[in-house]
Amino acid sequence: MTKLRDYQVEISDKAVKILRRYKMVYLAMEVRTGKTLTSLATAYLFGAKNVLFVTKKKAIEDIIKQAAGMQWEMQVFVTNYEQLHNVEYGWDLVIIDEAHSLGAYPIPSGRAKELKRICVATPIIYLSGTPTPESYSQIYHQLWVSSFSPFSFHKTFYKWAVDYVTIHKKYIGGNYHNDYSHADKTKIDGMIKDLFVTYTQEEAGFESLVNENVLYVKMEPVTYNFANRLRIDKIVTNGDGQSVIADTGAKLMSKLHQIYSGSVIIDEPTREAKAFDYTKAEFIRDYFKGKKIAIFYKFAAELAILSWVMGEEIGFDVDGFNSGKFNIFASQIVSGREGINLSTADALVFYNIDFSATSYWQARARLQTKDREKEAQIYWVFSEGGIEDKIYKTVIDKKDFTLSHFKQYYNA
């Protein structure tokens, strides 16, 4: 039977009191501190017998194992966000993992709408290490899912924003749009602070620090020629009549993000991914030879490059990797940044970098657990003179890399 750590017992005791009073509680616990077990313990103390646990697809198997390991008289049904349309309401309690993914605004996301349907008059435990990674406006639709939201008086985000957001104007695509990102943190905290239980890695006793390294690779001349021609001409056509088009700043930003890591999506005559420079993958293979590594990539063509270069040594099953069946694991950044444990890896290697600050902070935490005895090693493999380094300098400051940042560098 799995044993809770002392701090998990203390948090679940505190959380169940909040849950009984408000019919909701938000466990804002940093990654790898044990949110899953703490939430299950809270549900058990609450007296729930029939629990729905909503998470990301890659985390399902691990959560099922954790629930089974507790050996409690409590049925836990685990599903992923993409299957919510198949789930009916009528649960004693719902646990929402990675709850910040419900934070889209001003319009609720499809998953938020499905959860609102499922959670009618149902107590909820929210879980996230980063409840509002980009703006405090992201809290509204997370709590809107619950029938007991402290903002239930405000039926829509727009009505809520009148009281809690300083609305600015933003010029996008030739028109002005309302910018709702400037929420009043102090005023919102006054309404929600009693719902939250926060816990950090430092409080949990994490001693393994993250050692972050940036490695620069000189790509093939074709890569730099391709990028430079596209920046100047906005269109590049090869001998086969395939064209890559970047006639707007946003398209150029996206294309350069692909090109500097050795692949690109063709625009005409048909959309297909084309790999043309294998330098990064070959560098990773040689630099980390004999090491157990997990690799995060951004684009599908990058996985094809990695698979070609690494051959049979690469695998995609987390359990197989952690059990030692293979020594190289690969995952797309966004799908792998949450809910998986890669702490058995000697190093986490980023083949490319995402524009999202959330991806940066969550993906780099995949190596960390309280019991890890050695320093977590993280490596970023960037092309010399490429766009990745510019993205990195933005996201480490907890800001998304946007078109405005891109224009500062490239005058696009």
pLDDT tens for each residue of 248-283:
999 999 999 999 999 999 999 989 999 999 999 999
Three-point CA angle 138, 143, 145, nearest 5°: 110
CA 278 – CA 252 distance, rounded (Å):
22
CA 178 – CA 182 distance, rounded (Å):
11
Domains in the chain, number = 2
Phi then psi for residue 148, to 5 deg, are: -110, 20
pLDDT given for residue 256 in this prediction? 97
- Of 144, 173, 204, which residue constitutes the final position of a domain? 204
- Of 204, 235, 257, which residue constitutes the final position of a domain? 204
* Residue 245 token pair: 């088009």
Is residue 146 domain-shared with residue 26, that is, in the same domain? yes
pLDDT given for residue 209 in this prediction? 60
Is residue 287 domain-shared with residue 168, that is, in the same domain? no
- Of 174, 204, 234, which residue constitutes the final position of a domain? 204
The segments of the chain whose pLDDT lies below 50 read 370
pLDDT tens digits, residue range 360-391?
Answer: 777 666 655 545 556 678 899 999 999 999 99
Residue range(s) defining the domain that contains residue 73: 6-204
265 lies in some domain? no
Is residue 172 domain-shared with residue 286, that is, in the same domain? no
